[in-house]
């Protein structure tokens, strides 16, 4: 069964969700992100996706205290992203309790640094974030666009031990309209040795089951859970089948 990874997006220390990455379209769900993290853990979920939206905007992690609290309360496998632009920031994220770090902008702007991190920290700990907008990878909290496609970016590091990629279709993120199935099918088929995590647009368990049937290995769920379209009971049932 495909692994379901719940997302906790953080602004000002609170659990929020944006629509299409727009900071002006923000909904707050939990004042204390660790509260919902405990619920996920108790439902049998093993891995969490924490996104520091303040950090993404500021180009430096800003919610490490939240990470520390979630890690201490849950003991879960946590992947953390947002503003990781230096080796010092990467180390601080690991020291604060993350098991894996998501790096996107730096892979586009400083590919040699990202390649070095894969080597120094291990491919199992460094995840490539390939967030796509109009066919090209967006950077700096989705506020800037590059001229690099997700496929080109992944290809750039495929020979360096890259083993994990999170690909978010920004146009679908938070819209509850279903993911861009073809995009993920194409990427996973092109890079079978790399785990391509689906992110953006999940609206129901039907979307997740379709991705599972396609052979996708992991999927991030955010707004669909917070809006009640996917329940904790459903997450618990799926976690038993993994």
**Is the predicted pLDDT of residue 142 greater than 80, yes or no?**
no
Strands 195-199 and 100-103: unpaired
Q: Per the residue annotation, which of 52, 54, 131, 173 is the catalytic one?
A: 131
pTM of the entire predicted model: 0.95
pLDDT interval class at 140 (50, 70, 90): confident
Q: Which domain holds residue 31?
A: 3-241
Answer yes or no: 131 catalytic.
Answer: yes
What is the model's pLDDT at position 183? 95
Q: What is the DSSP letter of 48?
A: E
Q: Which of 9, 54, 173, 207 is catalytic?
A: 9
Helices 205-214 & 232-241 angle (0-180, nearest 10): 20
Helices (H) and strands (E) in the chain, counts: 11, 12
As for how many domains the chain has, the answer is 1
Residue 32's pLDDT is what? 98
Q: Each residue of 155-199: pLDDT tens digit?
A: 999 999 999 999 999 888 878 899 999 999 999 999 999 999 999
pLDDT of residue 84: 97
**Model confidence at 141: pLDDT above 80:** no
Q: Tell me what pLDDT residue 242 has.
A: 83
Domain of 67, CATH number, reads 3.20.20.70
Smallest CA-to-CA distance from 153 within 139, 173, 142, 172 is with: 139
Q: What is the pLDDT of residue 171?
A: 87
Q: Are strands 126-133 and 136-139 parallel, antiparallel or unpaired?
A: antiparallel
The number of residues making up the chain comes to 242
What's the pLDDT tens digit per position in 6-63?
999 999 999 999 888 888 889 999 999 999 999 999 999 999 999 999 999 999 999 9
């Amino acid at each position: 069964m495909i692994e379901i990874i719940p997302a906790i997006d953080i602004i000002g220390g609170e659990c929020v969700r944006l629509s299409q990455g727009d900071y002006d379209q923000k909904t707050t769900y939990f004042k204390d992100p660790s509260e919902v993290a405990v619920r996920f853990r108790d439902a049998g979920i093993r891995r969490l996706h924490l996104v520091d939206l303040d950090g993404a905007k500021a180009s430096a992690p800003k919610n490490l205290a939240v990470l520390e609290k979630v890690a201490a309360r849950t003991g879960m496998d946590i992947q953390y992203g947002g503003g990781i632009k230096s080796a010092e920031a990467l180390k601080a994220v690991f020291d604060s309790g993350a098991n894996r770090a998501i790096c996107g902008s730096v892979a586009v702007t400083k590919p040699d640094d990202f390649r070095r991190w894969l080597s120094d920290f291990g491919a199992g700990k460094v995840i490539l974030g390939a967030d796509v907008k109009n066919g090209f990878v967006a950077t700096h909290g989705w506020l800037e666009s590059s001229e690099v496609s997700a496929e080109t970016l992944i290809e750039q590091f495929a020979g360096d031990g890259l083993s994990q990629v999170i690909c978010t279709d920004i146009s679908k993120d938070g819209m509850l309209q279903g993911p861009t199935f073809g995009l993920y099918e194409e990427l996973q088929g092109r890079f079978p040795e790399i785990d391509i995590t689906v992110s953006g647009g999940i609206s129901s368990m039907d979307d997740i089951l379709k991705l599972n049937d396609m052979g996708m290995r992991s999927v991030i769920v955010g707004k669909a859970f917070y809006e009640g379209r996917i329940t904790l009971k459903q997450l618990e049932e799926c976690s038993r089948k993994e």
